[in-house]
Protein backbone atom coordinates (compact mmCIF):
# COMPACT_ATOMS: atom_id res chain seq x y z
CA UNK A 1 0.00 0.00 0.00
CA UNK A 2 1.56 3.30 -1.02
CA UNK A 3 1.70 6.24 1.37
CA UNK A 4 -1.14 8.23 -0.27
CA UNK A 5 -3.62 5.33 -0.05
CA UNK A 6 -2.51 4.68 3.55
CA UNK A 7 -3.20 8.30 4.53
CA UNK A 8 -6.59 8.24 2.79
CA UNK A 9 -7.42 4.98 4.59
CA UNK A 10 -6.54 6.49 7.98
CA UNK A 11 -8.65 9.56 7.26
CA UNK A 12 -11.66 7.40 6.32
CA UNK A 13 -11.23 5.23 9.44
CA UNK A 14 -11.04 8.36 11.61
CA UNK A 15 -14.20 9.77 10.02
CA UNK A 16 -16.11 6.51 10.51
CA UNK A 17 -15.00 6.33 14.14
CA UNK A 18 -16.02 9.95 14.69
CA UNK A 19 -19.47 9.27 13.25
CA UNK A 20 -19.84 6.16 15.38
CA UNK A 21 -18.78 8.02 18.53
CA UNK A 22 -21.12 10.92 17.73
CA UNK A 23 -24.05 8.58 17.12
CA UNK A 24 -23.33 6.72 20.36
CA UNK A 25 -23.14 9.96 22.33
CA UNK A 26 -26.38 11.32 20.86
CA UNK A 27 -28.33 8.07 21.24
CA UNK A 28 -27.20 7.07 24.72
CA UNK A 29 -25.86 10.11 26.58
CA UNK A 30 -27.37 13.26 25.07
CA UNK A 31 -30.80 11.79 24.28
CA UNK A 32 -32.46 12.63 27.64
CA UNK A 33 -31.42 16.29 27.57
CA UNK A 34 -32.30 16.62 23.88
CA UNK A 35 -35.71 15.10 24.47
CA UNK A 36 -36.31 17.44 27.39
CA UNK A 37 -35.27 20.55 25.43
CA UNK A 38 -38.34 22.71 24.91
CA UNK A 39 -37.11 23.60 21.40
CA UNK A 40 -37.31 19.94 20.31
CA UNK A 41 -40.71 19.86 18.61
CA UNK A 42 -40.24 16.18 17.67
CA UNK A 43 -40.62 15.32 21.37
CA UNK A 44 -44.04 17.01 21.48
CA UNK A 45 -45.17 15.34 18.24
CA UNK A 46 -44.03 11.93 19.48
CA UNK A 47 -45.66 12.51 22.85
CA UNK A 48 -48.99 13.32 21.20
CA UNK A 49 -49.16 9.65 20.15
CA UNK A 50 -48.92 8.43 23.73
CA UNK A 51 -51.69 8.20 26.31
CA UNK A 52 -50.34 10.71 28.84
CA UNK A 53 -51.37 10.17 32.44
CA UNK A 54 -53.85 12.39 34.30
CA UNK A 55 -53.43 15.32 36.66
CA UNK A 56 -55.72 14.60 39.62
CA UNK A 57 -57.23 16.91 42.24
CA UNK A 58 -59.40 15.45 45.02
CA UNK A 59 -60.01 12.30 43.00
CA UNK A 60 -60.97 14.10 39.78
CA UNK A 61 -58.81 14.21 36.66
CA UNK A 62 -58.45 17.90 35.80
CA UNK A 63 -56.24 16.98 32.81
CA UNK A 64 -56.37 13.79 30.76
CA UNK A 65 -55.72 12.40 27.28
CA UNK A 66 -58.45 11.33 24.90
CA UNK A 67 -57.91 9.49 21.58
CA UNK A 68 -58.45 11.48 18.38
CA UNK A 69 -60.75 9.48 16.12
CA UNK A 70 -59.13 8.12 12.97
CA UNK A 71 -55.56 8.84 14.13
CA UNK A 72 -52.90 7.47 16.45
CA UNK A 73 -52.87 10.75 18.35
CA UNK A 74 -54.31 11.81 21.70
CA UNK A 75 -55.65 15.22 22.61
CA UNK A 76 -55.13 16.71 26.05
CA UNK A 77 -58.34 17.98 27.66
CA UNK A 78 -58.74 20.08 30.79
CA UNK A 79 -61.87 20.02 32.93
CA UNK A 80 -62.29 23.37 34.69
CA UNK A 81 -59.41 24.53 32.51
CA UNK A 82 -59.34 28.17 33.58
CA UNK A 83 -59.51 27.29 37.27
CA UNK A 84 -56.30 25.26 37.17
CA UNK A 85 -54.46 26.77 34.18
CA UNK A 86 -51.73 28.34 36.34
CA UNK A 87 -50.92 24.85 37.63
CA UNK A 88 -51.48 22.55 34.67
CA UNK A 89 -50.21 24.81 31.92
CA UNK A 90 -50.89 23.09 28.59
CA UNK A 91 -49.66 20.36 26.29
CA UNK A 92 -50.20 21.21 22.63
CA UNK A 93 -49.08 19.24 19.59
CA UNK A 94 -50.47 22.06 17.44
CA UNK A 95 -48.22 24.66 19.10
CA UNK A 96 -45.46 22.09 19.64
CA UNK A 97 -45.06 23.26 23.23
CA UNK A 98 -45.88 22.42 26.82
CA UNK A 99 -45.88 24.55 29.97
CA UNK A 100 -46.71 24.33 33.67
CA UNK A 101 -46.94 20.85 35.16
CA UNK A 102 -47.31 19.44 31.66
CA UNK A 103 -43.66 20.39 31.15
CA UNK A 104 -42.37 20.06 34.72
CA UNK A 105 -43.68 16.49 35.14
CA UNK A 106 -43.09 15.44 31.51
CA UNK A 107 -41.18 12.31 32.50
CA UNK A 108 -44.16 11.08 34.55
CA UNK A 109 -46.80 11.78 31.90
CA UNK A 110 -44.63 10.08 29.26
CA UNK A 111 -44.04 7.07 31.50
CA UNK A 112 -40.27 7.68 31.64
CA UNK A 113 -40.03 8.43 35.38
CA UNK A 114 -37.97 6.03 37.48
CA UNK A 115 -41.01 5.63 39.74
CA UNK A 116 -42.84 4.02 36.81
CA UNK A 117 -40.17 1.40 36.08
CA UNK A 118 -42.47 -1.47 37.13
CA UNK A 119 -45.14 -0.27 34.71
CA UNK A 120 -42.62 -0.11 31.83
CA UNK A 121 -41.36 -3.63 32.54
CA UNK A 122 -44.93 -4.93 32.65
CA UNK A 123 -45.67 -3.31 29.26
CA UNK A 124 -42.50 -4.86 27.83
CA UNK A 125 -43.44 -8.41 28.82
CA UNK A 126 -47.14 -8.16 27.99
CA UNK A 127 -46.62 -6.34 24.71
CA UNK A 128 -49.25 -3.77 25.67
CA UNK A 129 -49.12 -0.19 24.42
CA UNK A 130 -46.98 1.95 26.68
CA UNK A 131 -48.95 4.51 28.71
CA UNK A 132 -47.92 7.41 30.85
CA UNK A 133 -48.30 7.88 34.59
CA UNK A 134 -50.21 10.57 36.43
CA UNK A 135 -49.83 12.90 39.40
CA UNK A 136 -52.10 13.56 42.37
CA UNK A 137 -51.93 17.18 43.52
CA UNK A 138 -52.04 18.70 47.00
CA UNK A 139 -54.63 21.30 45.95
CA UNK A 140 -57.86 21.86 47.89
CA UNK A 141 -60.50 22.56 45.20
CA UNK A 142 -62.72 24.60 47.53
CA UNK A 143 -59.86 26.98 48.37
CA UNK A 144 -58.82 27.19 44.70
CA UNK A 145 -62.38 28.08 43.71
CA UNK A 146 -62.61 30.73 46.45
CA UNK A 147 -59.44 32.35 45.12
CA UNK A 148 -60.77 32.39 41.55
CA UNK A 149 -64.15 33.78 42.57
CA UNK A 150 -62.54 36.42 44.77
CA UNK A 151 -60.19 37.71 42.08
CA UNK A 152 -62.98 37.48 39.48
CA UNK A 153 -60.76 38.36 36.53
CA UNK A 154 -58.86 41.20 38.22
CA UNK A 155 -55.10 41.14 37.78
CA UNK A 156 -53.48 39.40 40.70
CA UNK A 157 -52.80 36.05 42.31
CA UNK A 158 -53.51 33.97 45.38
CA UNK A 159 -51.51 31.17 47.01
CA UNK A 160 -52.40 28.95 49.97
CA UNK A 161 -50.02 26.67 51.89
CA UNK A 162 -50.42 24.13 54.66
CA UNK A 163 -47.77 25.49 57.07
CA UNK A 164 -47.01 22.22 58.87
CA UNK A 165 -46.15 20.38 55.63
CA UNK A 166 -45.61 22.89 52.81
CA UNK A 167 -48.42 21.37 50.71
CA UNK A 168 -49.74 23.89 48.15
CA UNK A 169 -53.49 24.11 48.75
CA UNK A 170 -54.21 26.75 46.11
CA UNK A 171 -52.29 28.50 43.35
CA UNK A 172 -54.29 30.83 41.13
CA UNK A 173 -53.25 33.56 38.71
CA UNK A 174 -55.76 36.07 37.34
CA UNK A 175 -56.87 36.66 34.68
CA UNK A 176 -56.66 33.05 33.58
CA UNK A 177 -56.96 31.33 30.19
CA UNK A 178 -58.45 28.16 28.71
CA UNK A 179 -55.74 25.54 28.05
CA UNK A 180 -58.24 23.50 26.01
CA UNK A 181 -58.07 26.07 23.22
CA UNK A 182 -54.27 25.88 23.16
CA UNK A 183 -54.40 22.07 23.10
CA UNK A 184 -56.87 22.02 20.19
CA UNK A 185 -56.05 19.73 17.26
CA UNK A 186 -57.06 22.57 14.91
CA UNK A 187 -53.69 24.30 14.50
CA UNK A 188 -55.20 27.55 13.20
CA UNK A 189 -57.50 27.76 16.21
CA UNK A 190 -54.68 27.09 18.68
CA UNK A 191 -52.39 29.64 17.01
CA UNK A 192 -55.12 32.30 16.93
CA UNK A 193 -55.84 31.86 20.64
CA UNK A 194 -52.13 31.90 21.49
CA UNK A 195 -51.71 35.17 19.57
CA UNK A 196 -54.74 36.64 21.33
CA UNK A 197 -53.35 35.78 24.76
CA UNK A 198 -49.90 37.15 23.95
CA UNK A 199 -51.39 40.40 22.64
CA UNK A 200 -53.60 40.96 25.68
CA UNK A 201 -52.67 43.87 27.95
CA UNK A 202 -53.75 41.70 30.91
CA UNK A 203 -50.92 39.21 30.17
CA UNK A 204 -52.94 36.09 31.16
CA UNK A 205 -50.03 33.77 30.30
CA UNK A 206 -47.96 35.34 33.10
CA UNK A 207 -48.18 33.11 36.15
CA UNK A 208 -48.46 35.92 38.68
CA UNK A 209 -48.47 33.51 41.62
CA UNK A 210 -44.93 32.21 41.11
CA UNK A 211 -43.39 33.94 38.08
CA UNK A 212 -44.15 36.67 35.57
CA UNK A 213 -43.64 40.19 36.86
CA UNK A 214 -42.54 40.37 40.50
CA UNK A 215 -44.42 42.69 42.84
CA UNK A 216 -43.27 45.20 45.45
CA UNK A 217 -44.62 43.69 48.69
CA UNK A 218 -45.30 46.93 50.52
CA UNK A 219 -46.22 46.56 54.16
CA UNK A 220 -46.56 42.77 54.18
CA UNK A 221 -42.75 42.82 54.14
CA UNK A 222 -42.97 44.32 57.64
CA UNK A 223 -43.41 40.71 58.77
CA UNK A 224 -39.74 40.22 57.93
CA UNK A 225 -38.66 43.55 59.42
CA UNK A 226 -40.66 42.94 62.59
CA UNK A 227 -39.03 39.51 62.94
CA UNK A 228 -35.59 41.15 62.81
CA UNK A 229 -36.69 43.80 65.33
CA UNK A 230 -37.95 41.16 67.78
CA UNK A 231 -34.73 39.18 67.41
CA UNK A 232 -32.75 42.35 68.18
CA UNK A 233 -34.23 42.41 71.69
CA UNK A 234 -37.48 44.32 71.29
CA UNK A 235 -40.81 42.88 72.44
CA UNK A 236 -44.34 43.61 71.20
CA UNK A 237 -44.72 45.96 74.20
CA UNK A 238 -41.50 47.90 73.52
CA UNK A 239 -41.95 51.60 72.82
CA UNK A 240 -40.85 52.60 69.32
CA UNK A 241 -40.78 55.91 67.43
CA UNK A 242 -43.87 56.67 65.36
CA UNK A 243 -43.72 60.21 63.95
CA UNK A 244 -46.16 61.34 61.29
CA UNK A 245 -43.34 61.55 58.76
CA UNK A 246 -39.56 61.37 58.41
CA UNK A 247 -36.90 62.34 55.91
CA UNK A 248 -35.20 59.42 54.24
CA UNK A 249 -31.54 59.34 55.36
CA UNK A 250 -29.27 61.57 53.27
CA UNK A 251 -32.16 62.99 51.24
CA UNK A 252 -34.84 65.65 51.43
CA UNK A 253 -37.53 63.11 50.49
CA UNK A 254 -40.29 62.87 53.09
CA UNK A 255 -41.79 59.47 53.93
CA UNK A 256 -45.17 59.81 55.68
CA UNK A 257 -47.45 57.35 57.41
CA UNK A 258 -50.43 56.48 55.24
CA UNK A 259 -52.72 58.51 57.47
CA UNK A 260 -50.34 61.46 57.56
CA UNK A 261 -50.63 61.33 61.36
CA UNK A 262 -48.43 60.01 64.16
CA UNK A 263 -48.67 56.28 64.80
CA UNK A 264 -51.40 56.47 67.43
CA UNK A 265 -48.91 58.46 69.46
CA UNK A 266 -45.34 59.61 68.99
CA UNK A 267 -44.16 56.47 70.84
CA UNK A 268 -46.52 53.56 70.23
CA UNK A 269 -45.73 49.99 71.18
CA UNK A 270 -44.27 47.80 68.46
CA UNK A 271 -47.52 45.79 68.41
CA UNK A 272 -49.58 48.95 67.82
CA UNK A 273 -47.22 50.26 65.14
CA UNK A 274 -47.48 46.88 63.42
CA UNK A 275 -51.29 46.79 63.61
CA UNK A 276 -51.52 50.34 62.28
CA UNK A 277 -48.79 49.56 59.70
CA UNK A 278 -46.88 52.76 60.40
CA UNK A 279 -44.21 53.37 57.78
CA UNK A 280 -42.01 55.60 59.89
CA UNK A 281 -41.56 53.06 62.68
CA UNK A 282 -40.24 50.37 60.37
CA UNK A 283 -38.23 52.68 58.11
CA UNK A 284 -36.45 54.09 61.16
CA UNK A 285 -35.73 50.56 62.35
CA UNK A 286 -33.65 49.86 59.24
CA UNK A 287 -30.90 52.21 60.40
CA UNK A 288 -30.69 50.53 63.81
CA UNK A 289 -30.83 46.99 62.44
CA UNK A 290 -28.35 47.58 59.65
CA UNK A 291 -28.56 46.44 56.03
CA UNK A 292 -26.81 43.12 56.64
CA UNK A 293 -29.23 42.02 59.37
CA UNK A 294 -32.31 42.85 57.30
CA UNK A 295 -30.88 41.22 54.17
CA UNK A 296 -29.94 38.01 55.97
CA UNK A 297 -33.35 37.82 57.60
CA UNK A 298 -35.03 38.13 54.21
CA UNK A 299 -32.79 35.40 52.81
CA UNK A 300 -33.60 33.15 55.76
CA UNK A 301 -37.24 33.34 54.66
CA UNK A 302 -36.29 32.29 51.12
CA UNK A 303 -35.43 35.50 49.29
CA UNK A 304 -32.67 35.35 46.64
CA UNK A 305 -32.88 31.55 46.36
CA UNK A 306 -34.11 29.15 43.68
CA UNK A 307 -37.14 26.95 44.23
CA UNK A 308 -39.09 24.31 42.31
CA UNK A 309 -42.45 22.97 43.47
CA UNK A 310 -41.85 21.35 40.79
CA UNK A 311 -43.07 24.34 38.79
CA UNK A 312 -40.07 26.68 38.56
CA UNK A 313 -40.48 29.67 40.88
CA UNK A 314 -38.97 33.06 40.09
CA UNK A 315 -36.61 34.12 42.86
CA UNK A 316 -37.83 36.97 45.06
CA UNK A 317 -35.16 39.60 45.59
CA UNK A 318 -33.85 41.83 48.36
CA UNK A 319 -31.30 44.49 47.34
CA UNK A 320 -27.67 43.42 47.67
CA UNK A 321 -26.25 46.92 48.02
CA UNK A 322 -28.37 49.88 49.02
CA UNK A 323 -27.75 53.29 50.52
CA UNK A 324 -29.48 54.15 53.83
CA UNK A 325 -32.44 55.75 52.05
CA UNK A 326 -33.04 52.68 49.90
CA UNK A 327 -32.68 50.41 52.92
CA UNK A 328 -35.30 52.44 54.79
CA UNK A 329 -37.66 51.88 51.86
CA UNK A 330 -36.75 48.18 51.73
CA UNK A 331 -37.77 47.84 55.39
CA UNK A 332 -41.35 48.75 54.39
CA UNK A 333 -41.33 46.60 51.25
CA UNK A 334 -40.67 49.34 48.73
CA UNK A 335 -37.60 50.36 46.76
CA UNK A 336 -35.87 47.39 45.17
CA UNK A 337 -37.66 44.60 47.07
CA UNK A 338 -39.61 42.31 44.68
CA UNK A 339 -41.58 39.19 45.51
CA UNK A 340 -43.94 36.50 44.30
CA UNK A 341 -47.16 35.79 46.22
CA UNK A 342 -45.73 32.33 46.95
CA UNK A 343 -42.76 33.95 48.70
CA UNK A 344 -45.02 35.97 50.98
CA UNK A 345 -47.11 32.87 51.71
CA UNK A 346 -43.84 31.20 52.74
CA UNK A 347 -43.08 34.05 55.15
CA UNK A 348 -46.52 33.63 56.71
CA UNK A 349 -46.13 29.84 56.80
CA UNK A 350 -42.87 30.05 58.76
CA UNK A 351 -44.55 32.27 61.36
CA UNK A 352 -47.59 29.99 61.52
CA UNK A 353 -45.37 26.90 61.92
CA UNK A 354 -43.44 28.13 64.99
CA UNK A 355 -40.52 29.45 62.95
CA UNK A 356 -39.93 26.44 60.68
CA UNK A 357 -40.44 26.94 56.94
CA UNK A 358 -41.40 23.76 55.11
CA UNK A 359 -40.54 23.39 51.42
CA UNK A 360 -43.65 24.06 49.31
CA UNK A 361 -44.69 21.18 47.06
CA UNK A 362 -47.56 20.61 44.65
CA UNK A 363 -47.48 16.86 43.94
CA UNK A 364 -48.65 14.42 46.62
CA UNK A 365 -47.97 11.26 44.66
CA UNK A 366 -47.13 9.71 41.31
CA UNK A 367 -49.58 7.06 40.08
CA UNK A 368 -49.46 4.45 37.33
CA UNK A 369 -51.74 4.40 34.30
CA UNK A 370 -54.13 2.35 36.44
CA UNK A 371 -54.01 5.04 39.17
CA UNK A 372 -52.01 2.90 41.59
CA UNK A 373 -49.64 4.92 43.78
CA UNK A 374 -46.01 4.42 42.74
CA UNK A 375 -44.32 7.20 44.72
CA UNK A 376 -45.39 9.49 47.56
CA UNK A 377 -43.76 12.77 48.54
CA UNK A 378 -43.03 13.73 52.13
CA UNK A 379 -42.71 17.15 53.80
CA UNK A 380 -39.20 18.60 54.02
CA UNK A 381 -37.82 21.43 56.14
CA UNK A 382 -36.50 24.27 53.99
CA UNK A 383 -35.19 26.72 56.62
CA UNK A 384 -35.76 27.86 60.21
CA UNK A 385 -35.78 31.64 59.80
CA UNK A 386 -37.00 32.53 63.31
CA UNK A 387 -37.22 30.86 66.69
CA UNK A 388 -40.54 29.71 68.21
CA UNK A 389 -40.69 32.64 70.65
CA UNK A 390 -40.46 35.23 67.86
CA UNK A 391 -43.02 33.28 65.83
CA UNK A 392 -45.42 33.34 68.78
CA UNK A 393 -44.92 37.09 69.23
CA UNK A 394 -45.55 37.73 65.54
CA UNK A 395 -48.71 35.61 65.58
CA UNK A 396 -50.10 37.67 68.47
CA UNK A 397 -49.23 40.90 66.65
CA UNK A 398 -50.97 39.62 63.50
CA UNK A 399 -54.13 38.85 65.49
CA UNK A 400 -54.13 42.51 66.59
CA UNK A 401 -54.03 43.55 62.91
CA UNK A 402 -57.37 41.78 62.50
CA UNK A 403 -59.13 42.24 65.84
CA UNK A 404 -58.02 45.67 67.08
CA UNK A 405 -60.37 48.48 65.96
CA UNK A 406 -57.41 50.32 64.42
CA UNK A 407 -55.98 47.20 62.74
CA UNK A 408 -55.63 47.41 58.97
CA UNK A 409 -57.37 44.02 58.45
CA UNK A 410 -60.25 44.66 60.85
CA UNK A 411 -62.75 44.13 58.02
CA UNK A 412 -62.00 40.36 57.91
CA UNK A 413 -62.32 39.77 61.65
CA UNK A 414 -64.54 36.97 62.93
CA UNK A 415 -64.52 38.70 66.30
CA UNK A 416 -62.90 35.77 68.08
CA UNK A 417 -59.17 36.14 67.47
CA UNK A 418 -59.14 33.20 65.07
CA UNK A 419 -57.54 35.02 62.10
CA UNK A 420 -54.03 36.47 62.02
CA UNK A 421 -52.97 38.76 59.18
CA UNK A 422 -50.78 41.53 57.81
CA UNK A 423 -51.87 43.83 55.01
CA UNK A 424 -49.95 46.02 52.62
CA UNK A 425 -50.56 48.54 49.86
CA UNK A 426 -47.51 48.83 47.63
CA UNK A 427 -46.70 51.63 45.22
CA UNK A 428 -45.67 50.30 41.82
CA UNK A 429 -44.09 53.38 40.26
CA UNK A 430 -46.73 53.31 37.49
CA UNK A 431 -48.62 56.48 38.25
CA UNK A 432 -51.17 56.01 41.03
CA UNK A 433 -51.41 52.23 40.58
CA UNK A 434 -50.90 50.14 43.70
CA UNK A 435 -50.88 46.47 44.63
CA UNK A 436 -53.08 45.43 47.54
CA UNK A 437 -51.62 42.64 49.69
CA UNK A 438 -52.57 40.41 52.56
CA UNK A 439 -50.89 37.47 54.28
CA UNK A 440 -53.28 35.66 56.63
CA UNK A 441 -53.73 32.36 58.44
CA UNK A 442 -56.24 30.56 60.62
CA UNK A 443 -56.94 29.28 63.20
CA UNK A 444 -54.47 31.72 64.72
CA UNK A 445 -53.54 29.44 67.63
CA UNK A 446 -53.06 26.32 65.46
CA UNK A 447 -52.96 27.35 61.78
CA UNK A 448 -53.83 24.80 59.11
CA UNK A 449 -53.64 27.19 56.16
CA UNK A 450 -51.76 30.36 55.20
CA UNK A 451 -52.85 32.52 52.29
CA UNK A 452 -51.14 35.32 50.40
CA UNK A 453 -53.19 37.46 48.02
CA UNK A 454 -52.00 40.24 45.70
CA UNK A 455 -54.49 42.39 43.77
CA UNK A 456 -53.25 44.86 41.16
CA UNK A 457 -54.77 48.24 40.51
CA UNK A 458 -55.31 48.92 36.84
CA UNK A 459 -55.86 51.85 34.49
CA UNK A 460 -59.57 52.12 35.27
CA UNK A 461 -59.21 51.58 39.02
CA UNK A 462 -55.59 52.31 39.98
CA UNK A 463 -55.87 51.93 43.75
CA UNK A 464 -55.92 48.44 45.26
CA UNK A 465 -55.74 48.23 49.03
CA UNK A 466 -54.61 45.37 51.23
CA UNK A 467 -57.55 45.50 53.60
CA UNK A 468 -60.19 46.60 51.11
CA UNK A 469 -59.31 44.49 48.05
CA UNK A 470 -57.09 41.58 49.08
CA UNK A 471 -58.62 41.06 52.54
CA UNK A 472 -62.06 39.75 51.49
CA UNK A 473 -60.44 37.24 49.11
CA UNK A 474 -58.23 35.90 51.89
CA UNK A 475 -61.22 35.66 54.23
CA UNK A 476 -63.20 33.68 51.61
CA UNK A 477 -60.30 31.25 51.15
CA UNK A 478 -59.93 30.77 54.92
CA UNK A 479 -63.68 30.23 55.27
CA UNK A 480 -63.63 27.65 52.46
CA UNK A 481 -60.98 25.69 54.30
CA UNK A 482 -62.76 26.00 57.66
CA UNK A 483 -66.01 24.72 56.15
CA UNK A 484 -64.50 21.32 55.32
Residue numbers annotated as active site: 219
Q: Tell me how far apart the alpha carbons of residues 302 and 248 are, in angstroms, rounded to a whole number.
A: 27
Helix 222-231 with 279-289: angle, nearest 10 deg: 50
The values of phi and psi at residue 243, to 5°, are: -65, 165
Q: Tell me how far apart the alpha carbons of residues 1 and 92 are, in angstroms, rounded to a whole number.
A: 59
Q: Tell me how far apart the alpha carbons of residues 80 and 63 are, in angstroms, rounded to a whole number.
A: 9
Whether a cis peptide bond, with omega within 30° of 0, leads into 310 is: yes
Reduced to 3 states (helix: H, G, I; strand: E, B; else coil), residue 117 is helix
What does each C-alpha distance from 179 to 88, 94, 200, 465 come to in angstroms? 8, 12, 16, 31
Between strands 134-137 and 363-367, the pairing is: antiparallel
| Secondary structure (H, E, C), 382-450 | EECCCCHHHHHHHHHHHHHHHHCCCCCCHHHCCCCCCCEEEEEEEECCCCCCEEEEEEEEECCCCCCEE
Contact status, residue 161 vs residue 346, Cβ threshold 8 Å: yes
What is the chain's Cα-based Rg?
26
Q: Tell me how far apart the alpha carbons of residues 435 and 288 are, in angstroms, rounded to a whole number.
A: 28
Reduced to 3 states (helix: H, G, I; strand: E, B; else coil), residue 126 is helix
Q: Tell me how far apart the alpha carbons of residues 278 and 296 are, in angstroms, rounded to a whole number.
A: 23
Amino acid sequence: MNSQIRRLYLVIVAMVMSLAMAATYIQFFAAPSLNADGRNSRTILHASERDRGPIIVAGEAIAKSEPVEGTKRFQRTYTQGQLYAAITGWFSASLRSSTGLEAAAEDVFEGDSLSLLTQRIQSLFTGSVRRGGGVVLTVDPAVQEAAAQGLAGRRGAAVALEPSTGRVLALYSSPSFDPNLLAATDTDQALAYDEELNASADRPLNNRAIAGDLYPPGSVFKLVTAAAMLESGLTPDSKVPGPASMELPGTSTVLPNVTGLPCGSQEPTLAEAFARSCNTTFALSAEKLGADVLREKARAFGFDSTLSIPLPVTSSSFPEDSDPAQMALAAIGQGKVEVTPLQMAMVGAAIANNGTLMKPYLIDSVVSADVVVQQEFSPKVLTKPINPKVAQQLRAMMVDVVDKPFGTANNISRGDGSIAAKTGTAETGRGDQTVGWIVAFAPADNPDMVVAVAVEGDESSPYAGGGSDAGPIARAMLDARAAK
